[in-house]
Amino acid sequence: MAELIGGYKRTKLCGEFRNFDIDSKVVCMGFVAKYRNLGNLIFIDVRDRSGIVQVSFDDSTPSEIFEKATKLRNEYVVCVSGVVRSRGSNINKNLPTGDIEIIATDLKILNEAEVTPFVISDDAKVGDVTRLKYRYLDLRRPSLQNILMTRSKITKITRDYLDYKGFLDIETPFLGKSTPEGARDYLVPSRIHPGEFYALPQSPQLFKQLLMIAGFDRYYQIARCFRDEDLRANRQPEFSQIDLEMSYVEKDQDVMEIAEGLICEIFNQCLGMDLKVGTFRKIPYAEAMENYGSDKPDTRFDLKIKDLSNLVKNCDFSVFANCIKEGGSVRGINAKGLATLTRKQIDALGEFVKGYGVKGLAWAALKPEGITSSFAKFMTEEQMSEIYNAMDAKQGDLLLIIADKTKLVLDTLGGLRCHVADTYNLYDKSQYDFLWVTDFPLLEYDEEEKRYVAVHHPFTSVKAEDIPLLDTDPGKARANAYDFVINGQEAGGGSIRIHNVKMQEKMFAMLGMSEEDIKNRFGFFVDAFKYGAPPHGGLAFGLDRLVMLVTGTDNIKDVIAFPKVQNASCLMSEAPSPVDDIQLKELFLEINKPQD
């Protein structure tokens, strides 16, 4: 049976004891992380979120306390009072508290524990399903504890920085209006308004712009957002963003400066880096696509894409020549130093690119003993030498070339360069690479819907110099939009917004929305712009992604206390679940399940 704490107060957290505590009378509380009974000597490790400390029960321990200690088991919750002693020659150098131990003089067993379904250890091999079912136990692992502590630190740094910069923390509603555009909304049926629904926010976009119109000048919020999409790996139905908006800005740079300041604070404080505002690289979208085949390029490694189309358009290799003739392009990357790859390894790269839908991979390995290549035999020596030149190919390099429709070629090579760099360790994975991608296109043509859709969202402004393009060649108009990319992952993005009501209406119209449509979905929003809207812009960082990047995990579930799995369910609470008929009746709903 559990005992009371009985007035004991913790001296400090377990992981905080050090040499200078020696001879002090102390109290620690926590979980038993390890238990060793040597007969006349019992050692336990006591664990809390700060780490572990060793507690010993020996012949100096009162006998009834020693007797109590023999009943301890892993994960029992204990309160130990005792005296700190040097471990002498038995120092554990792997442990911050390894110089000392606590010799127990009193022990309270605050709670017992059944044998846990798995050992609480970062080394334990346990399946994801079991871990997530017993999430409260998995969260006891030091690595997850540290990640969530870092997450808390990051949100605190964020709030301190934005508060200092004059941003107000303002909460926006969760029960909003459904304005489907892009992702699917989570709906919430109304009981008071039969047949009507709220929608959970996909982002606080409209509200934060309304706050600018309301004159709050600078707003931020760490906002939960919801998207009912089919989950891919590293997506969650609910996710958090650091959302901010500011008035009286008109250039990308105005917002980027604030965002860079935040990134510096987070990375410098959490990782001891020395980032500085104003030093982040900016790559225009077109250049990112051309060089890296991606709007979120990973530039920790070079592997730039080179356009070979002009060099090979008249060659005898029909795959290349025909591709160019049909309006496609031939591009490649130089995998520096990888000429030593085996045929099997190169074939695997061929399989990889087929996943993107291209027909195949042309390659040339510049080995010391001569060139091995899938296509060189169709080329003249001059053509090959032009290719080498264009790709800066030296002995030892492996050239990987693809011929297809340009968009597909870029996309594939964008993926291939990351795959090759990852597989063959072409870069230092502990390094960070930060950059802005700017000058995104405003619109892109959706072949399926036969209309333009917004690349960012319909509230993004067009670059002043590109306004005329809206009437002549809308697909070419560039937006005042910017994404922040860390290690090839989109960490955030934003834009300078439209603040002119006529321009906003024009934008909606360009997206194919009828006047009635606009009125129904965004009527109140468009109205708001009529009464004096300051120029404004903003940005949102994906908090989950940032925490992943800072803590170096590639599993989004690691950074969320109670995550959902791919089918959007919680294995611990078993949400979602059926509800009582009376609850449905009150909501005027009937379920119409699909036939099996």
- Residues numbered 469-498 forming contacts with its own copies, rule: CB under 8 A: none
**Distance of closest approach, residue 204 Cβ to its own copies, in angstroms:** 10
Non-local (6+) Cβ contacts of 78 within 8 A are: 29, 30, 31, 32, 44, 46, 72, 107, 108, 109, 110
Contact call for residues 551 and 147 (beta carbons, < 8 A) = yes
By CB under 8 A, the residues from 37 to 56 that bind its own copies are: 47-49
By CB under 8 A, the residues from 128 to 147 that bind its own copies are: 133-137, 139-140, 145
- The Cα–Cα gap between 85 and 547 comes to 38
The interface region with its own copies, picked from 97-105, 164-172, 341-349, 489-497 by CB under 8 A, is 164-172
Q: Compare residues 455 and 568 and give the one whose CB is closer to its own copies.
A: 568
337-369 in b/e burial notation, b at 16+ Cβ within 10 A?
ebbebeeeebeebbebbeebebebbbbbbbeee
Residue 228, judged by CB atoms within 10 A of its CB (0-12, 13-18, 19+), counts as middle
By CB under 8 A, the residues from 284 to 303 that bind its own copies are: none
Give the x/- contact pattern for its own copies in 66-105, rule: CB under 8 A. Answer: ---------xxx-x--------------------------
| Count of residues that interact with its own copies, criterion CB under 8 A | 124
Contacting residue, 22, 113, 390, 469, with its own copies by CB under 8 A: 113
**Could you tell me how far CA 446 lies from the centroid of its own chain?**
27
DSSP 155-224: HHHHHHHHHHTT-EE----SSB----BSBPPPEEE-SSSTT-EEE--S-SHHHHHHHHHTT--EEEEEEE
- The Cα–Cα gap between 286 and 455 comes to 14
Residue 529's SS3 state is coil
By CB under 8 A, the residues from 199 to 258 that bind its own copies are: 199-200, 206-207, 210-211, 213-217, 224, 226, 228, 230, 237-238, 240, 247-250
- The Cα–Cα gap between 387 and 461 comes to 41
Q: Compare residues 58 and 517 and give the one whose CB is closer to its own copies.
A: 517
244 forms beta bridges with 220, 539
- The Cα–Cα gap between 398 and 366 comes to 6
The interface region with its own copies, picked from 107-115, 352-360, 391-399, 471-479 by CB under 8 A, is 107-115
**Beta-strand relationship, 168-169 and 187-189:** unpaired
**Distance of closest approach, residue 19 Cβ to its own copies, in angstroms:** 23
Q: Compare residues 423 and 553 and give the one whose CB is closer to its own copies.
A: 553
**Distance of closest approach, residue 382 Cβ to its own copies, in angstroms:** 53
Q: Residue 141 corresponds to which tokens in the numbers above?
A: 């692992």
Q: Which of 77, 81, 123, 119 is nearest to 102 (CA)?
A: 81
Residue 543's SS3 state is helix
Contacting residue, 128, 196, 326, 581, with its own copies by CB under 8 A: 196
By CB under 8 A, the residues from 325 to 384 that bind its own copies are: none
By CB under 8 A, the residues from 506 to 535 that bind its own copies are: 524, 528, 530-535
Contacting residue, 95, 103, 148, 390, with its own copies by CB under 8 A: 148
Residue 107 binds to its own copies (criterion: CB under 8 A): no
**Distance of closest approach, residue 510 Cβ to its own copies, in angstroms:** 19
**Distance of closest approach, residue 517 Cβ to its own copies, in angstroms:** 12
By CB under 8 A, the residues from 168 to 187 that bind its own copies are: 168-178, 180, 184-187
Q: Compare residues 258 and 393 and give the one whose CB is closer to its own copies.
A: 258
**Distance of closest approach, residue 67 Cβ to its own copies, in angstroms:** 21
The interface region with its own copies, picked from 55-63, 191-199, 296-304, 509-517 by CB under 8 A, is 191-199
By CB under 8 A, the residues from 18 to 37 that bind its own copies are: 29-31
